Amino acid sequence: MAEQSSTTSPENPLTASVERLRRELDHWLEVAWQQGERALDKIGVRA
């Protein structure tokens, strides 16, 4: 029986590239979210 691949060992280079891109986008989304929260805190808008 063939071993199933996991996200840590992608099947092919395309899968690896897509996973890397997804992680990078997740990172930048988190950074943008944090910066937005800080900006709202500074102007006192955040609830």
Could you report the per-residue pLDDT of 13-46, keeping only the tens digit for each?
Answer: 999 999 999 999 999 999 999 999 999 999 988 6
Q: What is the reported pLDDT for 9? A: 56
Q: Domain of residue 33: give its range.
A: 12-47
Residue 44 included in any domain: yes
Q: How many domains does the structure of the chain reveal? A: 1
Q: What is the pTM of this model?
A: 0.60
Residue 3 included in any domain: no
| pLDDT at residue 12 greater than cutoff 60 | yes
Residue 1 included in any domain: no
Residue 37 included in any domain: yes
Q: What is the reported pLDDT for 42? A: 92
* Residue pair 11/5 in contact by the 8 Å Cβ criterion: yes
| pLDDT at residue 47 greater than cutoff 80 | no
Q: What is the reported pLDDT for 11? A: 74
Q: Where would I find the beta strands (DSSP E) of the chain?
A: none
